[in-house]
Amino acid sequence: MKIAVINFSGNVGKSTIARHLLLPRIPGAALIAIESLNADEGQGTALRGRQFGELQEYLQTVASVVVDIGASNVEDLMGQMQRYRGSHEDFDGFVVPTVPRLKQQMDTIATLVELNRIGVPASRLKLVFNMVEDGVTVAQAFDPLLTFLKQQPIARANPRCCLGANEIYARLKGTKADLATLANDPTDYKALIVQAKGTSEKVALAQKLATRRLASGVVPELDACYSALELKT
């Protein structure tokens, strides 16, 4: 399965969703980051948008990949996809993360319109509602975007494709850790904390325990979001 994660907007969770939602759930998938200045904490291989020819060749050689398309490359890539007619068909799906801020919702609409224009059908264009705050529904937080989609159903918007705001993602930045491994870490931190000599050692262990608890909480949410995406083709 080959998935592109894309949005004209930065900071909507493209890299987070590529790494923590998609990559661990697509067997054998590689992660490719297309960033202009490889500002992507060294995750995956950096490719320039203009290296689109190479990207197309690469896509023919792999069975499964998640391509994280950095905001600065989206326009470039869309132009290339327009030029190489039908090249969007190399992807089984386009995942478009979005967040409640109005500017990001407007950018998301622009992204969907552009993908629609180059020929991506609604059945392969799927939103992920990211950073939904507790006590707020997707319908409330994303009213402008959902109102647009009611009038022009150019993408799939399943409210169950949502992720809450969770500090675990910030904790894992700059590490290579994956959430399932953290959630299943069998270490008895409480016993280690009792045995630990100094305060700083205890605090370090307490942080690992907290990270495991957050990971255990977020993995089922990611599983539910992924299954609601229905990416199987």
For Mg ion, the binding residues (CB under 5 A) are 14-15
- Residue 12 contact among ligand ADP, Mg ion, none, beta carbon within 5 to 8 Å by kind: ligand ADP
Helices (H) and strands (E) in the chain, counts: 10, 7
**Rule CB under 6 A: which of 107-136 touch ligand ADP?**
130-131
Are 114 and 78 spatial neighbours (Cβ–Cβ below 8 Å)? yes
SS3 at position 46: strand
> Considering the complex, what minimum distance in angstroms separates the CB of residue 226 from Mg ion?
19
Phi, psi of 109 (to 5 degrees): -60, -45
Q: What is the per-residue binding string for ligand ADP in 139-168, x denoting contact by CB under 6 A?
A: ------------------------x-xx--
Asked if 214 touches ligand ADP (CB under 6 A), the answer is: no
Q: What is the largest CA-CA distance in the chain?
A: 64
**Rule CB under 6 A: which of 34-93 touch ligand ADP?**
none
Q: Name the residue nearer to ligand ADP (CB basis): 2 or 19.
A: 19
For the record, the structure tokens of 217 come out as 């909480």
CA distance 163 to 133: 9
Q: Name the residue nearer to ligand ADP (CB basis): 16 or 87.
A: 16
DSSP 122-139: GGGEEEEEEEEPTT--HH
- Residue 98 contact among Mg ion, ligand ADP, none, beta carbon within 5 to 8 Å by kind: none
| Residue choice 13, 24, 44, 49 for contact with ligand ADP (CB under 6 A) | 13
